[in-house]
C-alpha cells in the first residue's frame, strides 16, 4: 500500500490518499482457501509513505512485474496526465471538473463526486467522442486502453478534447440524476456521447494536436455549458440512438460495432472517416 500521508504511533498507522498497488492474487488465494486458514498463517504487508510521484511509479511497476497491470494505470502517472489534471483546474469554479489520475486522489477534499472524472471514465469518454469507438468502452475496454499513449493521451495532444469529453459525460450524468434523461438510456451512455459530438460538430476531425481541434472543442465546450443547448443536444442524441436501435436497449445489442457504424450513417458519415487521428 502506498499512502501520500502516513503517521505512526506505536503499532498503529493512520494514512490518507492511499492506494493498494499489489496483492490481488494473494487476496484471491486467501479467499479461496479461507476454510484452511489458521492463526499460524502470516501475510507480509508493506506500507510506503511518499509524495514523490517518481517513487510511487517505480514501486507500482516493480511490484506488478508478474501481473497483468493495465498500462493505462501507469500512464496516469506520466507528465501528460499531470498536465491534464492542472488544465482541468484552470477553469472557473462553476465550470471546473477534476481529472482523477490516481484512485482516491480527491477523497479528502470537499468536491462534488460528479465533478470528479476518473481516469478510466475519461479514457472511455474520449474513446467514444473523438476516436469514434463507443463499442469498445466497456466490455472490451482492454482494446481501448491499449491505445492510451498511442492513439490518444499523447504528449503533443491538445487538452481541449479531454475536457470536452469529460464535460459531455458530466452533463449526461447530471441529466440522469435529475430524471431529465430516462435511466433506460444508461446502457447507451457512450453511444450517446458519440452522437452528441456529431450533433455539435459533424465534420471530419483534425488531428488531436492541431490548432483547429482546440478551436472547435472550445465551441463545443461553450455549447455544453449552455443549459438550453446541452439539454437539447443530449435529448436529441438519445433519440438518435433510440431510432437506430428501434428501442432495443439490450446491452449486448447496443454496445456493438454495427450500432457505431449506424450512428455515423445516421449523420451521412462513414465510420472511421470523421474521427481524430
pLDDT at position 23 is: 76
- The C-alpha cell at 24 is 490481488
pLDDT at position 68 is: 45
Residues 68-105: b if buried by 16+ CB within 10 A, e if exposed = ebeebbbbbbbebbeebbeebeeeeeeeebbbbbbbeb
Output the CA–CA distances (angstroms, integers) from residue 30 to 2, 41, 262, in the order listed. Answer: 21, 10, 47
Q: What share of the chain is helix, strand, coil (3-state, %, to 5)?
A: 55, 10, 35
* pLDDT at position 28 over 60: yes
Same structural domain, 231 and 97: yes
109-134 confidence digits (pLDDT tens): 899 999 999 999 999 999 999 999 99
pLDDT band at 56 (very low <50, low <70, confident <90, very high): confident
pLDDT band at 74 (very low <50, low <70, confident <90, very high): low
Same structural domain, 42 and 101: no
What is the average pLDDT across 131-160? 93
Please state, in angstroms and rounded to a whole number, the distance separating the CA atoms of residues 24 and 152. 29
Same structural domain, 92 and 167: yes
Same structural domain, 109 and 230: yes
Predicted structure pTM score:
0.78
Please state, in angstroms and rounded to a whole number, the distance separating the CA atoms of residues 139 and 231. 28
Q: What domain range includes position 216?
A: 71-266
86 assigned to some structural domain: yes
274 assigned to some structural domain: no
16 assigned to some structural domain: yes
pLDDT at position 247 is: 82
Count of structural domains within the chain: 2
Average pLDDT across the chain, whole number: 89
pLDDT at position 182 is: 94
170-226 confidence digits (pLDDT tens): 999 999 999 999 999 999 999 999 999 999 999 999 999 999 999 999 999 999 999
* pLDDT at position 275 over 80: no
pLDDT at position 16 is: 83
Same structural domain, 57 and 98: no
What size, in residues, is the chain? 277
Please state, in angstroms and rounded to a whole number, the distance separating the CA atoms of residues 88 and 99. 7
DSSP 165-202: HHHHHHHHHHHHHHTSS-GGGGGGHHHHHHHHHHHH--
Same structural domain, 34 and 128: no
Amino acid at each position: 500500500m502506498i499512502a501520500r500521508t502516513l503517521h505512526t504511533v506505536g503499532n498503529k498507522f493512520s494514512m490518507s490518499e492511499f492506494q493498494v498497488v499489489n496483492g490481488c492474487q494473494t487476496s484471491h488465494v486467501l479467499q479461496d482457501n479461507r476454510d484452511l486458514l489458521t492463526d499460524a498463517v502470516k501475510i507480509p504487508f508493506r506500507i510506503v509513505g511518499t509524495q514523490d510521484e517518481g517513487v510511487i511509479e517505480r514501486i507500482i511497476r516493480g511490484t506488478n512485474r508478474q501481473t497483468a497491470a493495465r498500462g493505462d494505470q501507469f500512464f496516469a502517472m506520466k507528465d501528460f496526465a499531470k498536465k491534464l489534471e492542472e488544465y482541468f483546474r484552470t477553469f472557473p469554479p462553476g465550470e471546473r471538473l477534476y481529472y482523477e489520475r490516481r484512485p482516491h486522489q480527491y477523497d479528502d477534499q470537499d468536491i462534488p463526486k460528479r465533478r470528479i472524472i476518473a481516469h478510466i471514465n475519461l479514457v472511455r469518454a474520449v474513446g467514444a467522442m473523438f476516436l469514434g469507438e463507443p463499442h469498445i468502452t466497456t466490455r472490451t475496454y482492454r482494446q481501448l486502453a491499449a491505445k492510451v499513449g498511442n492513439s490518444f493521451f499523447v504528449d503533443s495532444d491538445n487538452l481541449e478534447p479531454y475536457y470536452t469529453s469529460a464535460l459531455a459525460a458530466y452533463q449526461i450524468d447530471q441529466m440522469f440524476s435529475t430524471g431529465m434523461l430516462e435511466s433506460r438510456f444508461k446502457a447507451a451512455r457512450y453511444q450517446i456521447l458519440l452522437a452528441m459530438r456529431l450533433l455539435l460538430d459533424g465534420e471530419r476531425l483534425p488531428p488531436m494536436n492541431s490548432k483547429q481541434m482546440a478551436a472547435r472543442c472550445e465551441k463545443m465546450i461553450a455549447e455544453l455549458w449552455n443549459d438550453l443547448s446541452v439539454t437539447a443536444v443530449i435529448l436529441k442524441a438519445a433519440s438518435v440512438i433510440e431510432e437506430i436501435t428501434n428501442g432495443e436497449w439490450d446491452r449486448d445489442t447496443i454496445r456493438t460495432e454495427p450500432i457505431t457504424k449506424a450512428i455515423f450513417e445516421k449523420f451521412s458519415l462513414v465510420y472511421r472517416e470523421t474521427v481524430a487521428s
